[in-house]
Structure 1
Amino acid sequence: MRTHIKAQCAALAVVAFACVSAQAAQTLNVVTFGGAYEAAAKKAYFDPFTQSTGVNFSLESYDGGLAKLAAMEQAKNTTWDLIDLESNDAITACDEGLLKKFDKKSLGKTSDFIAGSISDCAVASMVWSTVYAYDASKLKTAPQTISDFFDLKKFPGKRGLRKSPKGSMEWALIADGVDPKDVYKVLGTPAGVDRAFKKLDTIKKNIVWWESGAQAPQLLADGAVVMTQAYNGRIDDAAKKDQKPFKIVWDAQVYDYEWWGIPAGAKHADEAAKFIAFASQPKAYADLSKYIAYAPPRKDAIALVDKQRLADLPTAPDNFKRAIQINSTFWADNADEINKRFQVWLTQ
């Protein structure tokens, strides 16, 4: 009798553990860049996946980088199941074993993806761009080129820049006369780095630094700056949803992919992989463009995007004339060294 009771208890314990595990797996912990993109991803990716599978999401915002992920992995206490990554971080995280390898077969026809939008450890979630924007109600003359961003005489006032050398260094060189196609060739030399910092020196006293993507349109709205570097989707969102008189200057836009990756120690890695496959289908990509002006990295999704909406995307022909793709390998290899100099430069 006592043995029978023990057996029943053991069976109940197994069932209880299974129930707890199943319940825990019903929530994926996701870290993103927050703001308008997270809101759009919720509508295009997260909510439909929840409706399809019953799996919910717990969302956390950050501003990029791998320090926290590396610390969690080292401590073997990874609380993230899915992470939103910039390209150089996706490359570095994969190289350092911080991300799981991804089964590309789950994506379907991989030839439909834009070249370079699938890696060993991550899949592109969209194509986004760093641009600069201005408040059309406050500038009589509209700036048109990246050189105008650096022209304090013609366009006096404060400039907003992300507190990072990435993007700003490229702009500084182009504004100083370097052809966009030669930017990384020049930036890959000590003289080129010096040249970029020297150009940034010309506006340094007028720079207002921001660290979160949501801060850029807010700086414009508050009148704290007359122009600001920003993510194109944030400005489009402010202009269309909040009716702000903001305009984008597409000249020298620095475009890139955003990536989904699964931390190596993710507790719900299987569910996270299923989500990535779900979010990488043509309809999901096209749906994201409805809610924020980021482009699909999958060619067969383009036909599903409204033609009028296509004009707002970084990859639209008129917007893409002098675009440069961020060289993620360059930044993966050089970010630490340039960041150290950038931090010193900020204090000088």
Structure 2
Amino acid sequence: MRSMGGEQVEEAVASAVALLRTATDRDWEAAAAGRLKWSCRETAEHIAGDLIAYAGQLAGRATEAYVPFEITLDGTDDGLDPADNEGVLHVIETTCALLAATLRTTPREVRAFHPYPFRSANREGFAAMGVTEVLAHTHDIAEGLGLTYEPPAELCADVLARIFPHVRPGDDPWRTLLWATGRGELPGRAPVTAWRWLNNLVVPAERLTLQGVTPAAATDLAAGGDGGFEWVEGGPFQGTRDAAGMLLKAYEAGVHRPEWGVFVLVRRQDGRAVGGMGFHGAPDEEGRVEIGYDLAEAARGHGYATEGLRALSAWALAREEVVSVFATTEPANLASQAVIVRAGFTRVAGDEKQLAYELRGTRG
């Protein structure tokens, strides 16, 4: 699958800087940046600040808060002559290079602090956030300076499929991204007045992490790829690919809720994926949510499914809207039944075709 990393950050910055260099002779301080309260100059400085901040989060392995630093351009508070517009663009290019290098050297399993919405992001998440900052704020600056800006459509689609999983994709990825960030209108959709991107959820377990599958990863999994994960031999199993296909349909319909989607079970010891687990949708009106899972054959017999089922069920039952977690299996699948029972579920129904189990929370 096409990755999201240093190359995409460089592509976004190259596109932005090429346009803004055509207007370095203008007064960026006097021009307001689109709908923002900042000037074009302040907005350009903000782009540079975001890029270096994201590099700092990953390089510093920050897990609890932002690394406490910021950049200051010459002339703001040190008595030196202020950097001119070309100098600001040079700073953006430099901070881009630092983030791109950090993304290329950060292992896939590293996650660093970011508040929205699950308090962490991996390297793909930080790359997507960096690209979004560049694209959205270059649009703001271009609007303030009367320039026309049109970034690469594939880059916009990549961002949407990673950190805007709750947004129905449209025929025009750039216009969809502008709408999703409160910067434009789309026919048939209400204006966006407040927005957040959504990095994928990761649920920790003892030997595993359950990593939320983005629409980008689901697209690849459903098409027969690895979804960006390093799998054990024989993985992923067909059930994971089928679940990815259902996630993709929900995303395309604009009804995907990522926290109630699909997760890949990844071993902490070596970062290899061993199986898939996830929900069949959001909780229903009675507070019941259904869960399913599978493992690659090479990973069976080690208790991974039980560990993952316990962790994801506990996460679900801690949510206000969930009263019980529901699971089904075939009568002949004794191994699956053993997993469900070990995870604490109780059999509540069954016939010759299907057995049903339930795990109720304290509110149930």
Q: TM-score, normalised by structure 1?
A: 0.23
Greater percentage in strand: 1
Question: Looking at both structures, which has the greater relative contact order when contacts are Cα pairs under 8 Å and sequence separation is at least 6?
Answer: 1
- By percentage of residues, which structure has more helix? 1
